[in-house]
Amino acid sequence: MFGKVIAGIAAAGVLAGVLATGALAAPAAASPSPTTKQRPAAKDAFGGIVTAINETQLTVKNAKQGSKTFARQDTTIVVKGRNEKSSWSEIEINSHVLVRYEARDGKLYAKRIRIGRAHVAGIVTSISGNVITLRTRDGKDVKLTVNAGTKYFEFTGKKERKPGSLKDIHAGMRLIAAGSFDSSHNFDAALVAYRNK
């Protein structure tokens, strides 16, 4: 089951840094790596994947805690990477975010949003040169573009991994990739993780 592959990838902590450009791991989705100290979950923080966004609010889904919708304020701060200033317009569907918020009058208001990287997951349908075509769970085909800077990881056990390469990828394999969508909705992959079974 692909869910187990994704869970294994998340548990191994490999995608945490990449999805969050080195800073964010959705609290319920990834465990800290053995070299980092675990921080207690903040009561006013919620991490997950952006499922909807407009000019006034965004909805974030967390695998264990469900979805929450946060209202935008004039004072909402948006950052990415290592506290690089960003803007509301740079938040995309499928991005991983960590939202610091406050609750008032029955609503949740975003105080600070850290943008991570978008990710896609699915089954490889074809490979042509540096383009991997992936079919997602909802039946959509996404073209992943890889380059010399793309990192590959193969998961060999629950918390075991080893470096991989493009030549290991084949049709029928399930994988997850972290990166960003371009203007043509193709996906530039910074990291590709898979289980070769």
Q: Can you give the CATH number for the domain in which 172 is found?
A: 2.40.50
Residue 9 has pLDDT above 70, yes or no: no
What domain range includes position 110?
Answer: 14-117
Do residues 82 and 129 both lie within one domain? no
What one-letter code names the amino acid at 119?
H
Sign of the C-alpha dihedral computed for residues 186, 3, 59 and 43 taken in this order: negative
Last residue of a domain, one of 95, 117, 139: 117
Note whether 97 and 164 are same-domain residues.
no
Same domain, 74 and 132: no
Residue 75 lies in a domain: yes
- Higher pLDDT: 116 or 33? It is 116
* Inside any domain, residue 4: no
Residue 6 included in any domain: no
pLDDT of residue 112: 96
* Per-residue pLDDT tens over the stretch 37-81: 444 445 799 998 899 999 999 999 987 889 999 999 999 999 987
Q: Clarify whether residues 81 and 173 are in a common domain.
A: no
**Last residue within a domain, chosen from 117, 141, 162:** 117
Domain check: are 103 and 128 in the same one? no
Instruction: Among 2-6, 43-47, 96-100, 145-149, name the one with the lowest average pLDDT.
Output: 2-6
Rounded-to-integer distance, Cα 51 and Cα 64, Å: 15
| Confidence (pLDDT) at 104 | 93
If asked whether residues 125 and 48 sit together in one domain, one would say: no
Average pLDDT over residues 88-114: 92
Total number of domains constituting the chain: 2
Q: What is the pTM of this model?
A: 0.57
Long-range Cβ contacts of 43-49 (<8 Å, 24+ apart): 44/100, 44/101, 44/102, 44/111, 45/98, 45/99, 45/100, 45/101, 46/70, 46/98, 46/99, 46/101, 47/96, 47/97, 47/98, 47/99, 48/96, 48/97, 49/94, 49/95, 49/96, 49/97, 49/119
Do 20 and 112 sit in the same domain of this protein? yes
